Amino acid sequence: MNLLVAFAFLCLSTVAPWRVRSQQHRLLVNMTLVPNARASGALCLDGSLPAYHLHRGYGAGKDNWLLQFEGGGWCNDLRSCLDRAKTRRGSTRYMTKLEIFSGILSNNATLNPDFYNWNRVKLRYCDGGSFTGDTVFSNKTTTLHFKGQKIWEAIIRDLLPRGLEDARKALLSGCSAGGLATFHHCDNFATYLPMNASVKCLSDAGFFLDERDISLNYSMRFFFKSLVQLQGIEKNLNRNCTGALYFPDLCFFPQYALRYISAPYFILNSAYDVFQFHHILVPSSADLHGHWNDCKQNPAACTADQIDTLQGFRLDMLGALRPFYMNSRRGGMFINSCFAHCQSELQETWFGDDSSRINNKTIAEAVGDWYFSRNMTKEIDCAYPCDTTCHNLIPEAQVNSKA
């Protein structure tokens, strides 16, 4: 079983003026390999060096840092990891050397008003374990490096002398599997930075639920359990969490780890996250006859019973988030009702004329208000289909197109 999450720019029939501006200001950023990573064994699945893309900040943002974990699913067995090692999800040899920085990574003040002049870093994802593994598999013919934890440490050590060690403000963010990584590295990130630095964390589409699928099986629980075992992840999970649960591998799920995170945290997620809808709630193994195929392609095609199931998933997500919503005074939320996955890196969903809104606030405005303490931001959308601002939906083909 191999779950690969992809992010694509939305292909819309009408190009609004602000989208034309975003294309004119498209920012391409070079890749930086981490040569010292080899000494600590911080290698991608295939043994290649890890990498990141850095675009320097300036002016008032020159001492501020935004780090963004790249997403891209996971591999939980040797076969899927061997396949992954031959792709850009497991090797920097196959990655593009130039990355587009848009949305929260944009350097355009109009398109990214709060973070445009910060030092912005994209951490490339090549370990298949949300930057948490620490073991090596080797036999006579094959070696696989499950070294996500070491990759995280090596990239941070490479960035510290480049100015990160003097950071005044910092935001650790990530999308999908990268959003999940923020839960596991948020507090550790703060330990590298000055004591007086303002350090906060943001997960975009990373709040993966420990939820039964439509056949009443915990498909995602078993997937994550095999992932944790294969990649030697358990020792890198939050020790307070693993000490509190009978099954410590459950701490890979954000809903169990979140309560033990000290740094201020923001959770950006769709209540109908497309990836979770397709792979946690209705995985193919639970819908062998394809009764959900039309609903997956178009929510308007869902039956009344299917809509009820989706509403139940939304309520379960809100229930899992309730302790955070009620008890975290420094936490922020933006839980909308758009059928989407990953909304901070796409300009269309981050900040634009027709971006989704809750209480007339875009995602960029909500995150900015929370980070800079301009306003308390805990926004929860009404249930589908009441939100009329969900123009930029990400269909199944685009969620799975960049495996």
Question: Digits of tens for pLDDT over the chain (403 positions)?
Answer: 455 433 333 233 333 434 434 444 689 999 999 999 999 999 999 999 999 999 999 999 999 999 999 999 999 999 999 999 999 999 999 999 999 999 999 999 999 999 999 999 999 999 999 999 999 999 999 999 999 999 999 999 999 999 999 999 999 999 999 999 999 999 999 999 999 999 999 999 999 999 999 999 999 999 999 999 999 999 999 999 999 999 999 999 999 999 999 999 999 999 999 999 999 999 999 999 999 999 999 999 999 999 999 999 999 999 999 999 998 889 999 999 999 999 999 999 999 988 999 999 999 999 999 999 999 899 999 999 999 999 867 654 455 543 3
Best CA proximity match to 115, nearest among 52, 168, 171: 171
What is the rounded distance in angstroms from the CA atom of residue 75 to the CA atom of residue 89?
Answer: 10
User: For this structure, is 278 an active site residue?
Assistant: no
Q: What is the pLDDT, as a whole number, of residue 328?
A: 86
User: For this structure, is 166 an active site residue?
Assistant: no
Query: Which parts of 216-253 fold into alpha helices (H)?
Result: 219-231, 239-244
What is the rounded distance in angstroms from the CA atom of residue 231 to the CA atom of residue 236?
Answer: 11
Q: Exactly one of 48, 91, 173, 176 is catalytic; name it.
A: 176
Q: Exactly one of 134, 273, 287, 381 is catalytic; name it.
A: 273
What is the CB neighbour count within 10 angstroms for residue 79?
Answer: 11
Q: Which residue has the tokens 């758009």?
A: 338
15, 103, 124, 265, 326 from 110: Cα distances, Å:
17, 11, 26, 25, 34
Q: What is the pLDDT, as a whole number, of residue 26?
A: 84
pTM of the model: 0.91
Which 3 state secondary structure label does DSSP give 121? strand
Q: Is the Cβ–Cβ distance between 264 and 189 less than 8 Å?
A: no
The dihedrals phi and psi of 48, each to the nearest 5 degrees, come to -75, 160
Q: What is the pLDDT, as a whole number, of residue 391?
A: 82
Q: Is the Cβ–Cβ distance between 54 and 67 less than 8 Å?
A: no
What is the rounded distance in angstroms from the CA atom of residue 207 to the CA atom of residue 268?
Answer: 8
- According to the CATH classification, is domain 2-399 in 3.40.50.1820? yes
Which amino acid, residue 269?
Answer: N
Q: Is the Cβ–Cβ distance between 169 and 163 less than 8 Å?
A: no
User: For this structure, is 341 an active site residue?
Assistant: yes
Instruction: Kindly give, in sequence order, each residue whose CB lies less than 8 Å from that of residue 356, ignoring residues fewer than 6 positions away.
Output: 336, 338, 340, 343, 349, 362, 363, 387, 389, 390, 391, 392
Q: What is the pLDDT, as a whole number, of residue 395?
A: 54
Q: Is the Cβ–Cβ distance between 325 and 379 less than 8 Å?
A: no
47, 56, 66, 340, 393 from 62: Cα distances, Å:
34, 7, 11, 33, 35
User: Domain locations in the chain?
Assistant: 2-399
Q: What is the pLDDT, as a whole number, of residue 25?
A: 61
